[in-house]
Amino acid sequence: MKQSTDSVLGLDIGGSAIKAAPVDVDSGRLLSDPQQFPVPDRVTPDVLLTAVGSCLSRFKWTGPLGVGYPGVVKSGHTLSAAHVDDSFIGLDWLAQLRTLTDTSVALLNDADAAGLAEIHFGAGAAHAASDDKTVLVMTLGTGIGTALFRSGQLFPNTEFGHVQMGEAEAEDQAAAAIRIKDQLDWPQYGRRVNRFLVEMERLLSPDLFIIGGGISENFDKFSAYLDVRAEVVPAALGNNAGLIGAALAVRLAG
């Protein structure tokens, strides 16, 4: 694929697959249709590194690389492993990713990546330049990912999906996967999501909630059951937000 200085390959690592596409990081536009690469049930660092290498080969990619990881990332180290093998905990996985390419690589939490995309190019763009706005982006999927912004600046690795609500964590009550597992209709699911929003509003008093993940395509089916003070909107970039934000992280890192 022809590569420019403004293009970065973005990868969004999910529970069962990696989604990847080259991104124009000036506009947030995908430069080709995203492709999915399956990963096995036991996602070890070596297995996932091989899968990332396959992504690079499929796109014939030699340029910069941005990777969204499903867990806490600090200074290139993966510090949690909710949906991957425990051997990721404490690993300098950024150093391993850098063995795949001679150019820039960024590694960050997958929800933070989705949040960056929405703040810069999507539903939160109007708030990004404001000096006094707090925005919480959440991705509802296998779990619940969150990204918190104040005046357009990211507070990384918030992981509010693990907040305890009653007898269980929030993501065990209101993730999109739970709607299917518990066979919830849209009103029931909307009330579950609203419980989480109410708790986040109590703790953070945000001005805007952005609801992302694949469930955002069905926002109209449950939005009537969301009752909080803050504005609540669906994500504008849908399931592509994670890979767009992962690519953008390379540019933001300078």
Domain residue spans in the chain?
7-109, 123-236
Q: The tokens of 212 are what?
A: 């992302």
Query: How high is the pLDDT of residue 185?
Result: 98
pLDDT, position 2: 53
Is the fold of 7-109 the same as that of 123-236?
yes
What type of residue is 69?
Answer: Y
User: What local confidence, expressed as pLDDT, does residue 87 receive?
Assistant: 95
pLDDT beneath 50, residues of the chain:
none
- The pLDDT score that the predictor gives to residue 3 is 60
Backbone angles phi, psi at 134, to 5 degrees: -110, 130
Sign of CA dihedral 154, 157, 161, 163: negative
The pLDDT assigned to 52 comes to 94
pLDDT at 1: 54
Instruction: State the Cα–Cα distance between residues 123 and 195, nearest whole angstrom.
Output: 22
CA angle 153/238/62 to nearest 5° reads 75
* Unique residue bearing structure tokens 């960024």: 106
Apex 93 CA angle, 90 and 99, nearest 5? 150
Tokens 């009752």 sit on residue: 227
Q: How far apart are CA 123 and CA 119, in angstroms?
A: 7
pTM for the complete prediction? 0.93
Q: What is the pLDDT of residue 161?
A: 95
How does strand 73-74 pair with strand 144-150? unpaired
Q: Which CATH number fits domain 123-236: 3.40.50.280, 3.40.50.1000, 3.30.420.40, 3.40.190.80?
A: 3.30.420.40
7-109: which CATH topology? Nucleotidyltransferase; domain 5 (3.30.420)
The whole-number pLDDT of residue 210 equals 97
End-to-end CA distance of the chain: 24
